Amino acid sequence: MHGHEAANAVIFGIDPLWMSTAILVITYVILLSEKVHRTVIALFGAGVAIVTGVLNQTQAIAGIDFNTIALLTGMMIIVGITKTTGVFEFVAIWSAARRP
């Protein structure tokens, strides 16, 4: 299967629109229950979309914004390093002391 055909080859013979809607609703219900970590259920939902044929691997990779992932990773690294220096505690105490 190539291109557009892969997006229409859904398991159980269900229309891709209904399959993707069901995946979204089930994923959100599990997210709202907070019984499973958000990252795990988000990746599971994405995996189910690929396995059922709603998305193919090329479409799934095209949906990832690597610039956003790089930005968030960089911010996490900077915050992790800055946290160990005590800057956040200093700013909190400094701002509390300046309060009129």
DSSP for 52-85, please give it: TTSS-HHHHHHT--HHHHHHHHHHHHHHHHHHHH
In tens digits, what is the pLDDT along the chain, a chain of 100 residues?
454 555 555 677 888 889 999 999 999 999 999 999 999 999 999 999 999 889 888 999 998 999 999 999 999 999 999 999 999 999 999 999 987 7
Say what the pTM is: 0.61
